[in-house]
Amino acid sequence: MSQLLANVFPEESAIPDAFRITEAIEQREYLVNGEMKTWTGNLNPVLSPVFTKEGGTYKQKVIGSTPLLTSKEALEALDAAVKAYDLGQGLWPTLSVTERIEHVEKFLVAMRAQRATVVKLLMWEIGKSLKDSEKEFDRTCDYIVDTIKAYKDLDRNSAKLIEEQGFMAQIRRVPLGVSLCMGPYNYPLNETFTTLIPALIMGNTVVFKPAKFGVLLIRPLIEAFRDSFPPGVINIIYGKGRETVGALMETGKIDVFAFIGTNKGANDLKRLHPKPHRLKAILGLDAKNPAIVLPDADIDNAVTECITGSLSFNGQRCTALKIIFVHKAVVDSFIEKFNTQVKKLKPGMPWDSGVGLTPVPEPGKVEYLQELVADAKKHGANVVNENGGESLNSFFYPAVVYPVNKEMRLYYEEQFGPVVPIVPFDEDEEAIEYVLNSNFGQQVSIFGTDSRRIARLIDAFVNQMGRININAQSQRGPDTFPFNGRKDSAEGTLSIADALRVFSIRTLVSTKSTDENKHIISNIIRNRESAFLSTDYIF
Ligand code: G3H
């Protein structure tokens, strides 16, 4: 084992006091109908990707456990959400926009108070660095603030009657019903909340099941949810997906399915719903975003962007660059500069200052990455960076694999980890063909300076991808930009404003513009007789 790996995992005593978990956190609580319930059944252990050194051996940290609920508890949570929605007659879906916003604002205040606890758990549960964990928390709070603002704007635009072809009407967005929200383990807070908060604010009721990792970090927020929303509006369950969530889908009572994960997982769950036409799905799924480095690209910039694009959070981002096409004229210099930058990434624990590479949380992930690399080697590629592909326990040092070709699994499979496949190319058609034939369609990054050549690629990709990045890595932000994908990569579009739309539907009240009808409408508005038909302007 190289010295590099020998020093990755710490002795327990080397963990800073502020970040140490001295006692395992046994969580038995879950939230149903505004009540914090206590689970007395089996628990699911929470293993951290962090191992500690003890003498000559390594021990994986068990940092706690969470309830292994069954379908019975999941269905109780669903009943609570169904009751709170009450066929659209419940308190929450009929509450005014201003009042719903007040509930979300109350939640945000309580959530902010839990920042340090949530950040610490993000580090321990998924191995995200302190800096990125803080960023995830703060970005989520900003997202909530911006969602409130966007909802006010949306409502202001609806606070009027329109007249068209002898009709007058008021059009507003209303909730869809009961939402099931499930997030991914790589952004267990942020991505989950980018569906959960819009679902709630638009008046839907929710059953929320945390991701497979990054579960304990929701616990500090349960009281905030309980105290900020009316009973049954938000219900939080834990346990195995198939048993809990599968049971929910089979009832046919889920109206909205918001899921960020694999397309296989989404398909398996979607097909359990007995009336698929009644299920609205909002999905963020797999991706294999390519970078294309043209011969006239600014190589230093391309390398910098491809380093963060492929290796930030160890490549565990759905938006990560997962395959890099580099023109043969510049591939040698690209690889040399790329490897120099990889070497500067500091391996270590999430709380280590300046850390750039950390252990990965998925059991079996290191072995999977090793398999991909071995397969590529079998078909003629090499690991071309120093220490590339070395591993210890849950830590995998980035492997830059070159030259990658169509024979290799790395060409097609989403590695979701620190392996960087580099494909040399002569003709731009080779990269175009890759995108057109890919099962995925999230984003692509083009690096170059020749506007005509870039324009040609843009036009080749616009009907295949959700976003085309020029001289920049692929990414979700800014959160006001539309975030979506084609093929197996997504269903629906998210962004701060789009999320409000996907969790709602436009409904209108319309009448012929006769004097009598105008009189009725005018009375309703002036006397504030309807919550829907109203021209009140939110300040
Ligand atoms: O994992 C997918 C996330 O939406 C990526 O977000 O591009 O801001 O890291 P990001």
User: Which of ligand 1's atoms lies nearest the C-alpha of 476?
Assistant: 7
Residue 246 confidence (pLDDT) above 90: yes
Q: What's the whole-number average pLDDT of the chain? A: 97
What is the mean predicted confidence (pLDDT) over 207-227? Answer: 97
CB within 8 Å of 234: residues ≥ 6 apart: 31, 196, 200, 205, 206, 208, 225
Query: How confident is the model at residue 3, as a pLDDT?
Result: 83
Residue 1 confidence (pLDDT) above 80: no
- What is the distance between the alpha carbons of residues 132 and 122, in angstroms, rounded to a whole number? 9
Query: How confident is the model at residue 55, as a pLDDT?
Result: 86
What is the mean predicted confidence (pLDDT) over 221-239? Answer: 98
pLDDT in tens, 302-312: 999 999 999 99
Provide, rounded to the nearest whole percent, the portion of the chain with pLDDT above 70: 100
- Which residue among 317, 444, 469, 480 has the greatest number of ligand 1 atoms within 8 angstroms of its CB, and so is best to mutate? 317
Provide, rounded to the nearest whole percent, the portion of the chain with pLDDT above 90: 98
HSE of 117, CA atoms in CB hemisphere, 13 A: 14
Query: How confident is the model at residue 56, as a pLDDT?
Result: 86
The structural domains of the chain, ordered by start, are: 70-284 (3.40.605.10), 289-488 (3.40.309.10)
**168 DSSP β-pair partners:** 163, 511
User: Ligand 1 center to residue 511 CA distance, Å?
Assistant: 45
Q: Cα 157–160–166 angle (5° rounding)?
A: 125
- What is the distance between the alpha carbons of residues 199 and 383, in angstroms, rounded to a whole number? 45
* Residue with CA nearest ligand 1 atom 2: 318
User: Which of ligand 1's atoms lies nearest the C-alpha of 477?
Assistant: 8
Residue 48 confidence (pLDDT) above 80: yes
3-state secondary structure of 504: strand
User: pTM for this one?
Assistant: 0.97
Query: How confident is the model at residue 118, as a pLDDT?
Result: 98
pLDDT in tens, 148-183: 999 999 999 999 999 999 999 999 999 999 999 999
Query: How confident is the model at residue 242, as a pLDDT?
Result: 84
HSE of 48, CA atoms in CB hemisphere, 13 A: 28
What is the mean predicted confidence (pLDDT) over 65-69? Answer: 98
Query: How confident is the model at residue 4, as a pLDDT?
Result: 85
pLDDT in tens, 348-384: 999 999 999 999 999 999 999 999 999 999 999 999 9
* Residue with CA nearest ligand 1 atom 8: 476
pLDDT band at 326; cut points 50, 70, 90: very high
Please indicate whether residue 260, judged by its CB atom, sits closer than 6 Å to ligand 1.
no
Residue 109 confidence (pLDDT) above 90: yes
Please indicate whether residue 186, judged by its CB atom, sits closer than 6 Å to ligand 1.
yes
Residue 290 confidence (pLDDT) above 70: yes
